[in-house]
Amino acid sequence: MDGTETAQFGALAVVGLLVLFYGGTFLISTRIGKKDENADGYMTGGNNIGFGISAASMTATWIWASSMYASATSGYTYGISGPIHYGFWGALMILFIYPFGKRIRAVAPRAHTLAEVMFARHGRSSQLMLAGSNIVGSLISLMSNFIAGGVLISLLSPFTFTQGVFAVAAGVLLYTLWSGFRASVLTDFVQVVAMLGAVAVIVPFIFFAADFPAAFESGAHHLTAQQGNFFSSDAFMQQGAPYIAAVLAYAIGNQTIAQRLFAVKESLIKPTFITATVGYGAMVIGVGMLGVLALYLGFEPTGGDLNNLIPEMAAEYLPPVLLALFFIMIVGALSSTADSDLAALSSIVMTDVYGQNMTGKEKANPKTMLLIGRLTMVVATAAAVAFASLQLSILDLLVFVGALWGALVFPVLASFYWEKVTNKAFTTSVLVALAVFLPVRFSWIPVDGVFGVVVDVLSVAGVGVVLGLMAFGFFGLKPAKVIGVVAVVASAPFAIGSLHEYATLCGSLVAYSVSTLVCWAMSARRDERFDFAVIAERTGDFDDAAGASAAEADGVGAEPGSGPPHPPGDSDGGREPAETAK
């Protein structure tokens, strides 16, 4: 088929659906009474959120409209293995968070942001570097979700793309503004249940409406040899491998994930992230298969814009009732992540800009912090709406931000385990990695000849770093070293000489390897050792009353932010993660 005539809702129908969804989420958020509001609750919900809400919120945050659109784009571009590479590796990265998360919570039990912990661990430059990267990342995420909403509304209604962006932005801001993070996690539960139910109905319906499985036989000629091969090297090198590296960086560097890590009860970290792993993988791979179906059908999205693919497939094959359900599903997916981005941005500005740098933790006024958090949400929404007009590629944005964060992964993780890492080593390693990443990623310098070999060697080292870090979380330092070395030796003969041809993958791997090598080289010979117990003392609640009541409830003691009775000290600063997590 060459294009499609979208089945449109009337203006009143779309307004009704938006009012139904956003009005319902707003009413849910009003359950959080004004008397319960404080700065710490606004940012982390009191560090005591239970399993059901936490697992649903983690799933909803990782599943966003961009995930659905990008997974379908991957299927349409790379064939049958595209959604697997997108959804499986993304799900696996959620799983990899929890062993590191247990260590992070043990070291900083009542922190609000990772950047706040870096301030306690290193100092201001490391804190602002991590906070700044998260501000950029969350704004890009917010923008991409508004783009998804604008595309959806413009295709299925008489409203324009710009009007759709404004409607989604206003709806998300409506229910998130007052109660911040707690409004986000409370509405996430309802949103994720609705999304999972909708996918279970909508995806099979579209498949059978499009004459599945006959379409996979009659439309096979639309695929190239690589698209029809489940073990496609193009799919792995262009999508799978870059995404493995990118989502590991998302998992470690993203404040929306860290916020949920600090919010959930410490004993529930493992089941929360395992549940989110399964939920994310099932939903995103399922929706991504619609892109594969479109490829077999010869479906051409309007204007060749792959952001239009999912909405137009739904409009082509769904009856009005299911199309309305699809509309709610996409709006729910983008809203659940957009509200998380707003909550993350407000926490960063409240904690890292105002609470730590403008006033100092002891002098910070919680009421002023709340005002600053709400103003941050308004400003961030306005900025994201403005940037959304650019209508950039969602998949490219996701991979770029993930690769950018790759420069931070090793310095951040090493700061929680290795007592020798310094502020200078952290800052220098990240800056040098970014300086190498940008010209490689955007081909500012020709990669032929000697420079190409250098890029290949650094990329191979990056393969060892990525796989080593994955192994480190679950098995400890010695197995991680073995796996990292084996990965380098095994990949070198195939990669050196050709890997530089894949700019997206090389950029990400180079960011990992350079930051790791520089950070290690600057830290290894130091004799001074950091006392990790200091982190729990330097981070904690801004509301004294809230901190005292939470500490009493946890049986820790009355002093706000005092942390666990026996925080890990100097002697176990270098323990393997398998030991420190116990």
Query: What's the average model confidence in pLDDT over 61-75?
Result: 80
Query: What's the average model confidence in pLDDT over 441-460?
Result: 84
Range with lowest mean pLDDT among 114-123, 417-426, 561-570: 561-570
* Nearest by Cα to 317 from 326, 329, 330, 306: 326
R_g over Cα of the chain: 23
Q: How far apart are CA 18 and CA 491, in angstroms?
A: 50
Which residues are registered as beta bridge partners of 264? Answer: 49
Query: What's the average model confidence in pLDDT over 344-363?
Result: 84
Range with lowest mean pLDDT among 64-78, 139-153, 205-219, 240-254: 240-254
Q: Is the pLDDT of residue 137 over 60?
A: yes
Contact indicator for 556, 562 with CB cutoff of 8 Å: yes
* Nearest by Cα to 76 from 357, 325, 304, 268: 304
Confidence at residue 378, expressed as pLDDT on a 0 to 100 scale? 94
Looking from the CA of 574 toward its CB, the CA atoms found within 13 Å total: 10
Query: What's the average model confidence in pLDDT over 35-48?
Result: 73
Confidence at residue 549, expressed as pLDDT on a 0 to 100 scale? 39
Confidence at residue 480, expressed as pLDDT on a 0 to 100 scale? 94
Rounded (5°) CA angle 173-175-181 = 90
Percentage of the chain lying above the pLDDT 70 cut:
88
Query: What's the average model confidence in pLDDT over 313-331?
Result: 88
Confidence at residue 223, expressed as pLDDT on a 0 to 100 scale? 86
Contact indicator for 328, 65 with CB cutoff of 8 Å: no
Range with lowest mean pLDDT among 99-113, 168-182, 191-205, 393-407: 393-407
Name which residue leads in pLDDT, 399 or 145.
Answer: 145
Query: What's the average model confidence in pLDDT over 292-307?
Result: 86
Q: What DSSP character marks residue 283? A: H
Q: How far apart are CA 283 and CA 238, in angstroms?
A: 22
What CATH fold (topology level) applies to the domain 16-420+528-536?
Sodium/glucose cotransporter (1.20.1730)
Q: How far apart are CA 460 and CA 295, in angstroms?
A: 33
Confidence at residue 550, expressed as pLDDT on a 0 to 100 scale? 41
Q: Is the pLDDT of residue 102 over 60?
A: yes
Which residues are registered as beta bridge partners of 49? Answer: 264
Q: SS3 string of 154-175? A: HHHCCCCHHHHHHHHHHHHHHH
Q: Is 64 exposed, middle or buried (0-12, 13-18, 19+ CB in 10 A)?
A: buried
Query: What's the average model confidence in pLDDT over 22-46?
Result: 75
Question: Amino acid identity of 394?
Answer: I
Q: Is the pLDDT of residue 541 over 90?
A: no
559 pLDDT band, cuts 50/70/90, is very low
Confidence at residue 53, expressed as pLDDT on a 0 to 100 scale? 83
Tokens of 277: 């792993």
The continuous run of DSSP H or E covering 187 comes out as: helix 180-209
Contacts (Cβ under 8 Å, ≥6 apart) of 461: 488, 509, 513, 516, 517
* Nearest by Cα to 20 from 281, 316, 335, 271: 335
Confidence at residue 34, expressed as pLDDT on a 0 to 100 scale? 53
Q: Is the pLDDT of residue 403 over 70?
A: no
* Nearest by Cα to 263 from 77, 49, 96, 432: 49
Confidence at residue 578, expressed as pLDDT on a 0 to 100 scale? 36
Model pTM score: 0.80
From its phi and psi, is residue 38 left (phi > 0), alpha (psi between -120 and 50) or beta? beta
Q: Is 230 exposed, middle or buried (0-12, 13-18, 19+ CB in 10 A)?
A: exposed
Contacts (Cβ under 8 Å, ≥6 apart) of 528: 420
Q: How far apart are CA 406 and CA 402, in angstroms?
A: 6
Q: Is 208 exposed, middle or buried (0-12, 13-18, 19+ CB in 10 A)?
A: exposed
Q: Is the pLDDT of residue 545 over 70?
A: no
* Nearest by Cα to 54 from 198, 267, 248, 200: 267
Cis amide prior to 213 (ω within 30 degrees) = yes
Q: Is the pLDDT of residue 551 over 70?
A: no
Q: What DSSP character marks residue 10? A: P
- When the pLDDT of each residue in the chain is averaged and rounded to a whole number, the result is 82
Confidence at residue 567, expressed as pLDDT on a 0 to 100 scale? 33
Confidence at residue 395, expressed as pLDDT on a 0 to 100 scale? 56
pLDDT tens digits for range 202-228: 889 999 888 888 888 888 888 888 888
Confidence at residue 229, expressed as pLDDT on a 0 to 100 scale? 85
The residues spanned by each domain of the chain are 16-420+528-536, 421-527
Q: How far apart are CA 118 and CA 254, in angstroms?
A: 14
Which residue bears the tokens 């999205």?
301
Query: What's the average model confidence in pLDDT over 269-294?
Result: 89
Percentage of the chain lying above the pLDDT 90 cut:
22
Q: Is the pLDDT of residue 569 over 60?
A: no
- DSSP string for 363-400: G--HHHHHHHHHHHHHHHHHHHHHHHTT---HHHHHHH
Helices (H) and strands (E) in the chain, counts: 25, 0
Q: Is the pLDDT of residue 358 over 50?
A: yes
Confidence at residue 33, expressed as pLDDT on a 0 to 100 scale? 54
Contacts (Cβ under 8 Å, ≥6 apart) of 540: 110, 111, 547, 560, 561, 562, 563
* Nearest by Cα to 312 from 73, 140, 86: 73
Q: Is the pLDDT of residue 176 over 50?
A: yes
- 566: Cα separation from own chain's centroid: 32
Q: How far apart are CA 400 and CA 203, in angstroms?
A: 29
Q: Is the pLDDT of residue 522 over 90?
A: yes
